[in-house]
Amino acid sequence: MNAPAKAPWLQKRERGSRSAMQFMKWLALNCGRRIARLVLVPICTYFLLFSPRARRTSREYLACALGRPARLADLWRQYFTFAATVLDRVYFIDGRFGRFDIEVKGLELLRRTLAKGRGCILLGAHLGSFELLRTLAPEHRLSVNVVMYEENAAKISGVLNTLNPEIGSRTIVPGELDTVLRISECLARGEIIAMLGDRSAGSGKSVMCRFFGREAVFPQGPLLLALSLRAPVYWVAGLYEGGKRYVIHLEPLCEEPNAGRADRAAWTREWTQRYADRLEHFCRIAPYNWFNFYDFWSGSPGAR
């Protein structure tokens, strides 16, 4: 039997050299955020000019999120927002939160859920800064473990993780033999499992959902995992609002996953669609914060 084909986003090579990323890290920490952000201007200009496929898919998505044709200025803003959040990861991982204006909405609701003695799943997306909550967690006395692929961003992860080695120890790679066991142990200790739910890895465990009025492929794995482990699920997004302003949104998505064996497929479709609806909602609120620079609808029936 042939192995399932990898999803397009996993097949994309990571652009940029490790030495360039090391330089940007040094610049950010030693010359300050203002100087480092100036360097992002030519970097974003280069990628905007020389990434025609990403430019095309960005324009397609932004037209949906903005409700009008996307202009070149809109593409530039999305590229720069992405670059700015990557730059800010340096400060977050290094614990320099004081230079930012960060608001956390829904934290008390999350605490009430955790107070019941079991952990929960935070389900996010490639929307804004997913790194923000993970690095801010110790300040709020939260233990956050992240389930994520790092192979398509190995260079930048390797450079940034040197600032805080503990981050690597709290990263769980999906698809390993002990992945589910490690997740279950974290939940039993009352810890948080954070994962992304907007990209299918091409494993076949996916479901079609309506997203901006079109059918798109979403992974069903996160919600199947929540159902099998009876773990509450919260939606999370760390939106960048410009300047030094970030807002983390935490809201209950599914607090009591429960379905019989015969109803598992229908339950998963329903709750994955609810997840997709929340993603669309926040994409409309912060359209330049969604960082999927590939054809998100390409795996859907009737896709061009």
How crowded is residue 89: how many other Cβ atoms within 10 Å of its Cβ? 21
Q: What is the pLDDT of residue 150?
A: 65
pTM for the model: 0.88
Max mean pLDDT among 95-99, 163-167, 172-176, 277-281 falls in 277-281
User: Could you tell me what percent of the chain has a pLDDT over 90?
Assistant: 68
CA distance 29 to 24: 9
CA distance 285 to 277: 13
Q: Rounded to whole angstroms, what are the CA distances from 16 to 20, 46, 178, 187, 294?
A: 7, 11, 32, 36, 17
Closest CA to 78 of 289, 228, 302: 289
Coil, strand, or helix at residue 111?
A: helix
Q: Is the pLDDT of residue 59 over 70?
A: yes
Residues 6+ apart with CB under 8 A from 192: 114, 119, 120, 121, 122, 137, 142, 143, 144, 145, 186
Question: What are the extents of the domains in the chain?
Answer: 99-289
CA distance 59 to 40: 21
Q: What is the pLDDT of residue 148?
A: 85
Q: What is the pLDDT of residue 149?
A: 76
In this prediction, residues 104-119 reach a mean pLDDT of 94
In this prediction, residues 254-272 reach a mean pLDDT of 92
Q: What is the pLDDT of residue 302?
A: 41
How crowded is residue 195: how many other Cβ atoms within 10 Å of its Cβ? 23
In this prediction, residues 25-52 reach a mean pLDDT of 94
The 10s digit of each residue's pLDDT in 207-259 is 999 999 999 999 999 999 999 999 999 999 999 999 999 999 999 999 999 98
